[in-house]
Amino acid sequence: MGKTFYNKLNRQLEDMKSEGKYKEYQFLKTPMSNKTVIENYDEVIVLCSNNYLGLSDKPEIIKAGQAALEKYGVGAASVRFICGTFDIHRQLEEKTAEFLHTEASLSYTSCWNANTAVIPVLVGAGDCLISDELNHASIIDGCRLTSKKVQRFVYNHSDMNDLEIKLKEAGEFDTKLIITDGVFSMEGDIAKLPEIKALAEKYNAIVLVDESHATGVLGNTGRGTVEFYNMLGEIDIITGTYGKALGGAGGGFVAGKQEVIDLCIQSSRPSLFSNSLPPVLAAMALEAVDYLESNPGIVKSLHEKTEYLRKGLKSVGLNPLDGESAIVPIIVGETAKAISMAKAMLDKGVYVTGFGFPVVPEGTARIRMQVSDALTYDDLDYSIKVVKEIYDAY
């Protein structure tokens, strides 16, 4: 019995290898920055990190983490409601709420956790979910974790006519929760929040936006899609991560009205049955938000570098997907091709990711580049040259 089971697993792995879809980790030996040292490679330029603001190796943030380790130790070794939570959690949560212009926020160990926590708290029997088809996997799983009695609707990506059709179909449901990524991670495009909000008002629905790829990136001061559209304070629920632009260590949050946060504290399963964000991460996330607030120039600088990369790729005849986020994908077709191209780029010292099925639909595999304010213009020039060279060679 055991033997056939392990044979089955091995067959799955062999199939992935023969199809060129087998992923291997790269092991980093230095901090994430514009460049990093990867085991078996020299230093490479990094175009695949979510380290958008270059905060991953900021001395101020590292120091805040060191101080928190000294002050709070490793952690509480328990769940918050059972054995207490650190004051640094409250500071981070108050700061995050203030930053996003919401009443309150609650931290989680990741945004994956935050999404799977909050969505089942917001809807139950008699309610429905209306989710963009390209929403992040953690939103999909959050929806799957709701009661079986919750009706699920999925609308075509950013298709406002389809969203309206679904809202009409959802007429008889009590709570109608529309969920969208702020910035879609595989396309780099931005949700149509003003239209979504207008439809939500028309059909009496609630809106949840996951700002993971938008916080620190969009808006003049990095407050995300909501700031980009001048809609601060107008969205019911925001989720996001401290594991991308805001330092990159890890952690996530739910932000919204006090009663949403209170209900998460009472009923969300990750906060009831799992440890809090480690205090060292809370301290670093807090310092990252503080740093961003005191240095809004890094957001403008990121926008300029992103624009530079997009223009540069176009000037050599490449065709990145349009968008205003710091995610710059080029579609190349088949999964194996994207993975093989990314490997060839890495051999030339440029670290990008090839994404294919099942992360994106078959046939739309892509090389995804992400801009960081840590990158220099020389890094960008060299990367454009390499991407062009490899693209042409395939």
Ligand X SMILES: *Cc1c(COP(=O)(O)O)cnc(C)c1O
d(CA 162, CA 71): 52
Q: Shortest gap between Cβ of 138 and ligand X (angstroms)?
A: 4
136 versus 380: smaller Cβ distance to ligand X: 136
Binding to ligand X, residues 222-251 (CB under 6 A): 241, 243
Comparison of 367 and 380: residue with beta carbon closer to ligand X: 367
* 244 labelled catalytic: yes
Q: Which of 197, 244, 303, 305 is catalytic?
A: 244
Whether 185 is catalytic is yes
Among the listed residues 58, 89, 192, 213, the single catalytic one is 213
* Least Å from the CB of residue 141 to ligand X: 10
Catalytic-residue membership of 89: no
> Of 389, 375, 392, whose CA–CA distance to 44 is shortest?
375
Q: Per-residue x/- mask for ligand X, residues 164 to 203, rule CB under 6 A?
A: -----------------x---x------------------
In the complex with ligand X, the residue whose CB is nearer, 243 or 354, is 243
DSSP 183: B
The pattern of x and - marking residues 246 through 265 that bind ligand X according to CB under 6 A reads: ------x-------------
Applying CB under 6 A, the site for ligand X has a residue count of 13
Helices 193-202, 160-169: inter-axial angle, 10-degree rounding: 20
Q: Work out which of 58, 80, 136, 368 binds ligand X, going by CB under 6 A.
A: 136
Our CB check for ligand X shows the closer of 183 and 352 to be: 183
- Do strands 35-37 and 350-351 pair parallel, antiparallel, or not at all (unpaired)? unpaired
The phi-psi region of residue 243 (left if phi > 0; otherwise alpha if psi is between -120 and 50; otherwise beta) is: alpha
CA distance 335 to 361: 9
Q: Measured from the CB atom, is 100 or 386 closer to ligand X?
A: 100
Burial class (CB in 10 A: 0-12, 13-18, 19+), 59: exposed
Beta carbon nearer to ligand X, 112 or 391: 112
Residue 111 touching ligand X (CB under 6 A): yes
Q: How many helices (H) and strands (E) does the chain have?
A: 15, 13
212 makes contact with ligand X (CB under 6 A): yes
Q: In this structure, are residues 218 and 228 in contact, taking their beta carbons and an 8 Å threshold?
A: yes
Q: Which of the following is catalytic: 33, 131, 185, 372?
A: 185
Shortest separation between residue 12's beta carbon and ligand X, angstroms: 25
Q: How far is the CB of 299 from ligand X (least distance, A)?
A: 18
d(CA 148, CA 124): 8
Could you count the other beta carbons within 10 Å of the beta carbon of residue 164? 15
Contacts of 109 (CB under 8 A, 6+ apart): 250, 251, 252, 270, 274, 275, 276, 277, 278
Select the span of 68-76, 104-112, 296-304, 355-363 touching ligand X (CB under 6 A).
Answer: 104-112
DSSP 115-153: HHHHHHHH--TT-EEEEETT--HHHHHHHHTS-TTSEEE
Residues of this chain, 301-330, that bind ligand X according to CB under 6 A: none
Does 367 participate in binding ligand X (rule CB under 6 A)?
no
Give the interface with ligand X as residue ranges (CB under 6 A): 110-112, 136, 138, 181, 185, 210, 212-213, 241, 243, 252
Which are the catalytic amino acids?
185, 213, 244
